[in-house]
Amino acid sequence: MKAVLIKAFGGPENLHIGNWEKPSPKPQELLIKVHATALNRADTMQRKGQYPPPPGDSPILGLEIAGEVVALGTEVTNWKIGDKICGLIGGGGYAEYAVIPAAQALPIPENLTYEEAAGIPEVFLTAFQAINWIGKLKKEERILIHAGASGVGTAAIQIAKAIGAEIFVTASKGKHETCLNLGAAKAIDYKKDNFQEQVLAFTDGKGVDMIIDFIAAPYFQQNINSLNFDGRMVMLALMGGFKLGELNMLPILFKRIKIQGSTLRARTLDYKAKLTKDLYDFAWHRFETGEFKPIIDSVYDWTEVAEAHRYMEANKNIGKIILKIV
Ligand SMILES: NC(=O)c1ccc[n+]([C@@H]2O[C@H](COP(=O)([O-])OP(=O)(O)OC[C@H]3O[C@@H](n4cnc5c(N)ncnc54)[C@H](OP(=O)(O)O)[C@@H]3O)[C@@H](O)[C@H]2O)c1
């Protein structure tokens, strides 16, 4: 089969389409003819040699797919050939064929295309895990979502809105409209304004009950200062750096703050299967009615994969960047 391969770790110019062995499904897996995959920051890090795939997973880039079932593992009973599915995989999405554990496959809602469906799994599973499982956000609570126009951010806004929370985001100014249209009450231009001051001003000095953070070190102090009593912060990335200089830890103690980091890729199959099932129950009827939608920034033909990586690394996207696989 054809797949996107890496000539040498480094820049996007190292990506090219070449030949690779077609995978075959294990007893509890499906073989999928991939029609679309989506970019994730993890792909850009793996391309540079900074994020090796977990043992046993495909070394080919691509953590999510949308496509058609073309073969079933011997123990699979709940899917059939021809079913249209999307889902999270450990690697191997930038290819004509990929395998997925049957318990991680989700039916593509009838109103969505392959390109749209490929933009759901990683960001909705991540946002759902952070908001519903870890942060346990409740109706009428307040949440601050950093990088509000990112793939994960746009999914998080929709989930928090469905729960009935009040939503604040940080994002580049040109991305505010999308966040507000999705349900954010306020968007903060973090390049111009101090987000801690803005959050405290919007909340009468109380702060927010939950934060989803991707920026880490440069935001850490302001984040804990922006949290309310019993506030929860879920850390999903370290995009701004991971070493702290000075830190005043007092707010963690006296506001009883909980901080949890998480990654999705290294979780067990059982964990991912349970998360997939819970996301399905919470979100699938919402996709079918149009209440939830994957926010698609752009669709590239997979021959333009290097350009798609450059675009993501320039922080230009609002929502997901999709690769169409022919
Ligand atoms: N832990 C997990 O389970 C998990 C799962 C999925 C993704 N992630 C991580 O979560 C992060 C967001 O993923 P995504 O796919 O949603 O990202 P994305 O769509 O590529 O968006 C990232 C956005 O973050 C904003 N940003 C703010 N500060 C930044 C900085 N210092 N460096 C780079 N970007 C910055 C930029 O938007 P502005 O123009 O608004 O600044 C940028 O466009 C990534 O780091 C990804 O690896 C973690």
Residue 63 has pLDDT above 90, yes or no: yes
Mutating to test ligand 1, I would choose from 315, 318, 323 the residue with most ligand atoms within 8 A of its C-beta, which is 315
* Predicted pLDDT of residue 303: 97
Q: Domain boundaries in the chain?
A: 2-120+265-324, 123-261
pTM over 0.85: yes
Average pLDDT value over all residues in the chain: 97
| pLDDT above 90: residue 305 | yes
Q: If residue 12 lies in a helix (H) or strand (E), which one and from where to where?
A: none
Q: How far is the CA of 119 from the centre of ligand 1 (A)?
A: 15
Tens of pLDDT, residues 85-97: 999 999 999 999 9
pLDDT at position 69 over 90:
yes
Nearest-angstrom CA–CA distance, 83 and 207: 46
Tell me: the pLDDT tens digits for 162-180? 999 999 999 999 999 999 9
Nearest-angstrom CA–CA distance, 309 and 294:
19
Tell me how far the alpha carbon of residue 28 lies from the centroid of ligand 1, in angstroms. Answer: 32
Q: Which one of 3.40.50.720, 3.30.565.10, 3.40.50.620, 3.30.70.100 gives the CATH number of domain 123-261?
A: 3.40.50.720
Residue of 89, 146, 214, 223 best suited for mutating to test ligand 1, as the one with most atoms within 8 Å of CB: 214
Q: What percent of the chain has pLDDT over 90?
A: 98
Residue list, ligand 1 pocket, CB within 6 Å: 40-42, 122-123, 126, 147, 149-153, 171-172, 175, 214-215, 236-237, 239-240, 262-264, 312, 315, 317
Which atom of ligand 1 lies at the shortest distance from residue 175's CA? 40
**CA separation, residue 142 to residues 92, 147, 164, 182, 226 (Å):** 38, 16, 9, 16, 11
CA–centroid distance, residue 44 to ligand 1 (Å): 12
Residue 180 CA to residue 274 CA, distance in Å, equals 31
- The reply to whether CATH 3.40.630.10 applies to domain 2-120+265-324 is no
Contact 223, 233 (CB under 8 A): yes
Give helix 151-163 / helix 121-128 axis angle, nearest 10°.
50
In sequence order, what are the residues at sequence separation of 6 or more whose Cβ sits closer than 8 angstroms to the Cβ of residue 14? 6, 7, 8, 47
Gap between the Cα atoms of 25 and 115, Å rounded? 23
Strand 29-38 to strand 208-213: parallel, antiparallel, or no bridges (unpaired)? unpaired
